[in-house]
Amino acid sequence: MGAGNKVSFPFIEKQVKAFNELNIHPTVFIIDDGWATKVGDWLSVDKQKFPNGLKEATKLIKENDIKPGLWLAPLHVERNSELAKAHPDWFIESHGKPVSYWFKDTAFVKKHYLLDLRKEEAIDYLGEVAQKIKDWGFDWVKSDFMSSLYLVKEIGQEEKQYLTHRTMEIFKKNGLKVLACGAPWNASIGVANIIRISKDSGLPNLPNNIVSKLINKYFVNNYLGSIKDNIRLVGKFIKTDPDMYFSTSIFEKDKQKLKEAQFKSISRYSCLTLGDDFSKLTAKDVQPVKELIEQFYRAQKVRPKAIKIFMAGQTDQKD
């Protein structure tokens, strides 16, 4: 949507105001990456962005009849985070030392450690994080980069599936609903409410110029290829979420492709995800968004439990 790592309480206020002015009312409002001080320090809120903490944000969101959600990458930990400094033995190890990984498909620009949920201390920490998120007033989590364990060699295949499932189960047991992002569907059944089935659709917060449009063209083509079969296969078992629709920094033909992909999801009574900065949209930008929402409401008449999600602060870079 255009906030990048600038997600903050004032930014959320602008979005809520724009929703009301445009008569657009999401079911779920997810605060995206940028709210924590470091990746992995999930108990530490960035006080410059949220000086009164996250409870103030969830209160505002709920006052507008929207359920608040929070992004996190539960297994990822920055090497210079407070958690890594205090507990270097909580991570996946090789030869007695924590292994640092760089995942080219995650958009993280730094190497990370991965929490090892075979260790009780790591399980307890993630349980504490889940309880804190619930205490802050959130109803949903977007549990991101859930395929990371499948890309490392230190854990066997069956254990990768079990540990991925267990990660999301911790949130579920603490009363949170889960949007699983990058998670294999067989590890998500029974613990995730929605599963992301696509690659990133693009970077909406890039400047609106020819370079950003060309970059987003590349994203859109990869995105469409990844959902072609997944929406039919995974949709038999769990609600599906193609990555967000957005209106800026994108060629009109590519925007139409994103719109068609969201239509497919809506027609299967699943998820419509919106990623724009609504406080900056023109009347022309808003029109296709409203067409998608109208289609969504038509689908709701058939299957009322469809879900409309707004991603607050979709990032262009994770560090």
Q: List the domain range (segments joined by +) for residue 135.
A: 4-74+119-312
Amino acid found at 179: L
Q: Is residue 91 part of a domain?
A: no
pLDDT tens digit sequence for 214-265: 999 989 988 888 787 777 777 677 888 889 999 888 999 999 999 988 888 8
Q: How confident is the model at residue 77 (pLDDT cuts 50, 70, 90)?
A: very high
Please report the pLDDT score of residue 91 as a whole number.
96
Please tell me the total number of residues recorded for the chain in this structure: 319
Q: Is residue 296 part of a domain?
A: yes
Total structural domains in the chain? 1
Please report the pLDDT score of residue 95 as a whole number.
84
Q: How confident is the model at residue 302 (pLDDT cuts 50, 70, 90)?
A: low
Report yes or no: 121 and 83 within 8 Å, Cβ to Cβ: no
pLDDT exceeds 70 at position 5: no
Q: Is residue 233 part of a domain?
A: yes
Please report the pLDDT score of residue 318 as a whole number.
38
Domain with 31 in it: what CATH number? 3.20.20.70
pLDDT tens digit sequence for 8-56: 999 999 999 999 999 888 999 999 999 999 999 999 999 999 999 999 9
Q: Is residue 178 part of a domain?
A: yes
Q: Is residue 126 part of a domain?
A: yes
Q: Is residue 80 part of a domain?
A: no
Q: How confident is the model at residue 317 (pLDDT cuts 50, 70, 90)?
A: very low
197 vs 41: CA distance, rounded Å: 27
Taking the CB of residue 246, how many other CB atoms lie within 10 A of it?
27
How high is the mean pLDDT of the chain? 87
Please report the pLDDT score of residue 106 as a whole number.
52
The structure's pTM equals: 0.91
2 vs 201: CA distance, rounded Å: 13
Tell me the mean pLDDT in the region 145-167.
Answer: 92
Please report the pLDDT score of residue 319 as a whole number.
35
Angle at 40 between CA 36 and CA 42, to 5 degrees: 45
Please report the pLDDT score of residue 298 as a whole number.
84
Give every CB contact of residue 156 below 8 A, 6+ residues apart in sequence. Answer: none
Q: Is residue 92 part of a domain?
A: no
Q: Is residue 158 part of a domain?
A: yes
Tell me the mean pLDDT in the region 77-101.
Answer: 93
pLDDT exceeds 70 at position 307: no
